[in-house]
Structure formats: structure tokens, C-alpha cells
Amino acid sequence: MRLLFCLCLCLAATGLHAQASVRTADPAVRGVPLSAFPRFVKLSERVYGYEEIRQPGFTTVSLIVIGRNGVLVADGQGSVQATQTMLDRIKTISPLPVKWYVVGSDHGDHTAGNSVLPEDMQFVVHANSLAQLKKDSAAAVAANRPAVIVPPVAMRSDDEIIDLGGISVRVRFLGRAHTGGDLMVEVPSENLLFMSEAYLNRVFPAMRSAYGAEWVRTINQALALKHVDRFIPGHGFIENANVSREELVAFRDAVIAVIAEVTRLKAAGLTVDQAIAQANWGPYAKWFLAEQQSPIAIRRLWTELDGASK
């Protein structure tokens, strides 16, 4: 009986381990109910990830850093309601005001709720993203849609340090990737790097406005940072340190594979529509949003290979 009991325990532990090791951006496959979101993921005593679900059912991630002088948020959420919920929940972990906001990605799924940010917010944005937000704002006004919040000025360099009081962050532009103005937030004391949409954990590479070859180089720059041992994605689940590096490498390899497949199809003399129909993504066909994102990636990389997306 005792042997049987021990065997059951071992099998149960193995099952739990197998479930915990599922590498996917799909909450259902990972075994996380949608009712668990939004949620904080504690990264250290003063640093949190914030995972919220967006349609069609995967996470959008924000970074929260708490200093003595206030709170820094990197990336918002995709609607006014979702961003307000995040601000309200931040109050449950710190009474201090949100004073700094880093635009890691200028895309609407990270900025559309920014109208509820405090009026005296100090923005940190790359010049490329600032230019894009100005275009988006003009388009919104012309279409009689809600205004896009445009920060007053861009950051002066590609590497800026913000002292929050007792903890500092380093805002870094390591190169163009998903948007062209991709900013990352390093917290040196915690050995972590929030990569925004430059890192999509187990999500098929989204390339609507991406720079494929440069994206690979940007990820390599992040992997080469000596004191970083935990990488936080802009979409997909936040992983433990050792897994996060493995998954970032896996994502880089996915970007490389997508570029290689599109290059192969173009060299074969196919039209872009034929390439969309014939593309073979191998294991990446099972990644989240592959069916939706792959045609977009092909069209974008097609123009890049033609030299039209510089």
C-alpha cells in the first residue's frame, strides 16, 4: 500500500511538472483560466509584471516599477477601461502616484487607453514612435475617432536612466524590431529586461510594421546584456528566469525561420498570394495566431526584400 501511495505521488508530481512546462501563449492550453486575469506577477519586492487578456485570448503585458518617489509603468493596455483597471490595481500594491510612462510599443493594443493616465505624466518615447503617434493622432482626428495621446517630446538618447528613488530603470533602444521605436526597460538591480513587443512569447511573429532582419539583431543585443537573466515579453506569459531566456531564443529563431521561408518562396518566383498559400511554417504553425499573423508577415517581408520598408 505504501509503495502504491508513493507511486501515485510520483505520477501526480510528474503530471504537475508536465503541465507547468507547457510552452504556449494560449491560456487554455497552459491551464490558466481567463478568470485569473488581470493579474500581477511579482518579479521582486518593487517590480511587477501585469498580465491582462486581450482578444483573441492572449496576454498583453505591462511592467510596474515602484520607487520611493513614485511608480513607473512601461506599456499600457488596449482600451480606456483596461488601462483604468490597471491603474486602479496598482493602487493595491502602492499608494504612490504613477509618474513615469515608457512607450515600449506605439501600437494601439498598448496605447489606446492612455487618455486616463495622469495629466502630469512624464513620458519616455523614442523619436520613431513619437512620429508614428503623431500620424495616428492626425488620422484619428480626421476620422472623428477618440484622440491618440501624443507625448510632448522624444527621449534625447538611446539609453536613459530614470531614478525612481531607491531603484533605477534604464530605458534602452537596442534597434528596430516590432514597431521601429521599440523601447525596453532594464531594471539593473533585479537583473531583468522588459522587452515590450520586441519579444512575443510563443506568439507567431507579428510583422505588420516590423523590420525582420533588424528584429533578429535587436534580440541578439538583448541576449548579450551581461547582467540580465530574466526577459519579460510584451505578449504571452511571463516566465521564470531560465525559461525566459530559452523562450526568447526560441522567439528569435521563429523570426529567423519566418524570414527564411519568405525568402525561399520569393526566390522560387511565386507571387505574394501564392506564397501565402504555400508557406510551410513547420513547428511555428502551431504557435498562437499563426493563421492570422503569417499572411501579414509574408506581405511585410516581401516589401522588405524588395527594399521598400526602409
- Structure-block grid coordinates of residue 98: 504613477
Nearest-5° Cα angle at 108, 236 to 164: 75
Query: What is the rounded CA–CA span in Å between residue 197 and residue 132?
Result: 16
CB atoms within 10 A of CB 33: 8
Question: What is the block-wise mean pLDDT of the chain (310 residues), using blocks of 10 residues?
Answer: 38 38 91 96 98 93 98 97 98 98 97 95 98 96 92 97 98 98 98 98 97 97 97 98 97 98 98 98 97 98 85
- Structure-block grid coordinates of residue 178: 516590432
Of 130, 136, 131, which Cα lies nearest the Cα of 112?
136
Give the per-residue pLDDT at 307: 85
Please name the helix (run of DSSP H) or strand (run of DSSP E) that holds residue 55, with its range, or none: none
What are the helix (H) ranges across the chain?
Answer: 2-20, 27-30, 80-90, 108-111, 127-142, 212-223, 241-267, 272-278, 290-305
Instruction: Give, as one character, the DSSP assignment of residue 190.
Output: G
92, amino acid identity: T
- The helix/strand count (H/E) of the chain reads as 9, 11
Q: What is the pTM of this model?
A: 0.92
SS3 state of residue 180: coil
Query: What is the rounded CA–CA span in Å between residue 160 and residue 157?
Result: 7
Instruction: Determine contact, residues 143/122, Cβ cutoff 8 Å.
Output: no
Instruction: Determine contact, residues 258/168, Cβ cutoff 8 Å.
Output: no
List C-alpha distances in Å: 296 to 63, 78, 177, 205, 209.
28, 20, 15, 10, 9
Give the per-residue pLDDT at 147: 84
Give the per-residue pLDDT at 309: 61
How many residues comprise the chain? Answer: 310
Give the per-residue pLDDT at 93: 98
Give the per-residue pLDDT at 160: 98
Query: What is the rounded CA–CA span in Å between residue 230 and residue 211?
Result: 24
Q: Domains of the chain (ranges plus CATH)?
A: 22-253 (3.60.15.10)
